[in-house]
Amino acid sequence: MKPEFNLSRRNLLKGSLAAIVAGGLEQIAAFAVPETQPIRYLDVTRQAGIRFIHYTGAFGKRYLPETMGSGCAFIDYNNDGLPDILLIQGKDFPGHFHRHTTQKLYRNNGNGTFTDVTERAGLGIEMYGMGVAVGDYDNDGYDDIYITGLGESRLLHNEHNGTFKDVTKSAGVDNTGFGASAAWVDYDKDGRLDLFVCNYVKWSEKTDIYCSLDGRNKSYCTPEAYSGDTCRLFHNLGNGRFEDVTGKAGIYDPTGKNLGVAVIDYDNDGWPDVAVSNDTQPTKLYRNNRNGTFSEVAVEAGVAFSEDGIARGAMGIDADDFDDSGHPSLAVGNFSNQMLGLYHNEGNRFFIDIAPSSEVGRASLLSLSFGLFFFDYDLDGLEDLFVANGHIEPDINRVQPQVTYAELPLVFHNEGHSHFQSVGKALGFTQKLVARGAAYADINNDGALDILLTTNGGPARLYRNEGGDRNNAIRIKTVGTRSNRDGIGARVRVKTPTGVNEQRVHSGSSYCSQSELTLTFGLGREDQATEAQIEWPSGQQDELKYLKANSTYTVQEGGKILSAKPFKR
């Protein structure tokens, strides 16, 4: 990790006093050398008031869904400018009741603590939940929630008064498969958010298959034992209803074993494409044909397989222009002994997996990776990579001594020029977990990104970024007018004297999880962004000049700054 220096007057004064006490003014300069303080992620789950244990419903049968965990989301459901927390929960299998469980919503109190508001918000819903996506599908200014699950799904409309209403049936977005990740995306650029839903495999208690690691005891089957299922695409009709356009849009594919989805304009034509990570099946890349249909192009784009031509066990996925080339690349979390995929966009509709020749590949070889995302944890202007890991088989160490059930999270610091350094332990991630979902947000308005993580059959974890706020940043929240209200799909470029950082407002990514929609741009030591350019899904292009550091700017389509809220530092 690059050294960072704290040049505050407090530290200079402390150094000066120490020099005087030591007996020599000539030593002041030496003692005034800036201190180097490491960035740390502190587990603040308990003190924040988060009391959540994921429930798998396991009762000794070793059913496949028990291994998959669930996701999490950050959502500012009450529009107070503070990201709240939504945690997705499992439940008992039919006929095997053990305890009552529901999804959980925690309101951010703005003082480092959260309050459980599940029941008053109308989210005390019992379902075998898996994934979640957040977006304002009816453009009323309040974000809505879509939850996927085993055999059912829920669309929850934000009623503007702190409560949600289940409108799944009336909206026509019920998904009866083994739902996983989902994403809101305006694929036809009509100003309304459409919904893309991943389905895993065809599984039920009646069709459960017996598998064994040792030939004597039942173990969890791999997805290869089950038939696949198709993703679903629901087109927003604009009247509170959606149409299932999976077939006519070219998305239908019953061979998929779909777990993760990332929206990526990989060819920079201004239309959102969709990448889907598949477990033991080739990764899919759906190119937007700009006429309401998609073409699957993963093989020709170079992202379908590993470097040696193998379809890997892929879980989480994210897209980002991590090398500031102007072309978004892909990261894919894979099964143990397969390493991460880090597909670099070459700018000619083709990707090359650079993980095998990098620290990313070497450090992740034995990990089974679920949630992952790009984010700038030290605000130096380069997007780093977080990876949540955990195996699916509790007894894996008996047959593969080098692989463990609980695994360390990984963090890769972006050193520039497509080079990454593994720094997870140095950041405080030293406890092995059976991790699944992961998301990020700035929970305390200091500009530094914090992390929410779920574990399979265990507690959710909230990690606060301590020290990442030493560098400067700006945050941009987009508000569409002609485009969808959240500005999902907007391409934002922030320029400083030292370079350009580009990000897109996006739903989905990671694994079954949703990070905040507000974008964070690290500025390093720069005290302002000289320019911010926003290309909206509608085609509108806005340009903002000289944005001072350490504030969150809410920008309306058309270039109007609705608010500039300073960070708390």
- 3-state helix/strand/coil string of 387-437: EEEECCCCCHHHHCCCCCCEECCEEEEEEECCEEEECCCCCCCCCCECEEE
- Predicted confidence (pLDDT) at residue 106 exceeds the cutoff of 50: yes
Is residue 336 pLDDT above 60, yes or no?
yes
At 214, the pLDDT band (50, 70, 90 cuts) reads confident
The yes-or-no verdict on residue 402 having pLDDT over 60 is: yes
pLDDT at 27: 37
- Give me the pLDDT at residue 212, please: 86
Evaluate if residue 71 carries a pLDDT over 60. Answer: yes
- Are the beta carbons of 58 and 457 closer than 8 angstroms? yes
Tell me how far apart the alpha carbons of residues 86 and 121 are, in angstroms, rounded to a whole number: 11
What is the arithmetic mean of pLDDT over 365-379? Answer: 98
Nearest to 383 by CA among 394, 374, 392: 374
| 11 burial level (CB within 10 Å; 0-12, 13-18, 19+) | middle
**CA angle in degrees (0–180, nearest 5) for 498-502-505:** 145
pLDDT at position 36 is 60
pLDDT for 415 beyond 80: yes
% of the chain residues with pLDDT over 70: 94
Q: How many residues does the chain have?
A: 569
pLDDT at 30 over 80: no
CA dist 428 and 447 (Å) reads 19
Q: What is the pLDDT of residues 465-520, one digit of tens each?
A: 999 999 999 999 999 999 999 999 999 999 999 899 999 999 999 999 999 999 99
Say whether pTM exceeds 0.75. yes
Q: What's the number of CA atoms in the CB half-sphere (13 Å) around residue 519?
A: 29
Of the candidates 544, 424, 517, the one whose C-alpha atom is nearest the C-alpha of residue 76 is 517
> How many Cβ atoms from other residues are within 10 Å of residue 23's Cβ?
8
Confidence of residue 16 (pLDDT cuts 50, 70, 90): very low
Mean pLDDT is lowest, of 11-20, 163-172, 397-406, 426-435, for: 11-20
pLDDT grade, residue 95 (50/70/90)?
confident
312: CB partners within 8 A, 6+ apart: 280, 305, 306, 332, 334, 335, 338, 341
What is the structure's pLDDT at 498? 87
- Return the pLDDT at 19: 36
pLDDT in the model for residue 31:
32
Confidence class for position 23, pLDDT limits 50, 70, 90: very low
pLDDT value at 22 more than 90: no
pLDDT of residue 92: 96
Distances (CA, A) of 521 to 233, 424, 532: 31, 21, 10
Residue 219 confidence class, pLDDT cut points 50, 70, 90: confident
pLDDT band at 215 (very low <50, low <70, confident <90, very high): confident
Q: What is the pLDDT of residues 251-284, one digit of tens each?
A: 999 999 999 999 999 999 999 999 999 999 999 9
Work out the pLDDT band at 201, boundaries 50, 70, 90: very high
The residues near 111 (Cβ < 8 Å, ≥ 6 apart) are: none
* Percent above pLDDT 90 for the chain: 89
Angle at 567 between CA 564 and CA 569, to 5 degrees: 155
Q: What is the pLDDT of residues 506-550, one digit of tens each?
A: 999 999 999 999 999 999 999 999 999 999 999 999 999 999 999
Average pLDDT (311-318) is: 97
Provide the token pair at 304. Answer: 């379908």
Q: How far is CA 290 from CA 28, 77, 102, in A?
A: 65, 32, 40
Q: What does pLDDT average to over the chain?
A: 93
pLDDT score of 437 more than 90: yes
428 is written with which tokens? 């405080």
**How far is 279 from 234, CA to CA, in rounded Å?**
23
Q: Find the Cα–Cα–Cα–Cα dihedral 8, 13, 18, 24, rounded to 10°.
A: 120
Angle of CA points 242, 172, 75, to nearest 5°: 75
Contact call for residues 103 and 122 (beta carbons, < 8 A): no
How far is residue 256's CA from residue 278's CA, in Å, rounded to a whole number? 6
Is residue 337 a contact partner of residue 352, using CB atoms and an 8 Å limit? no
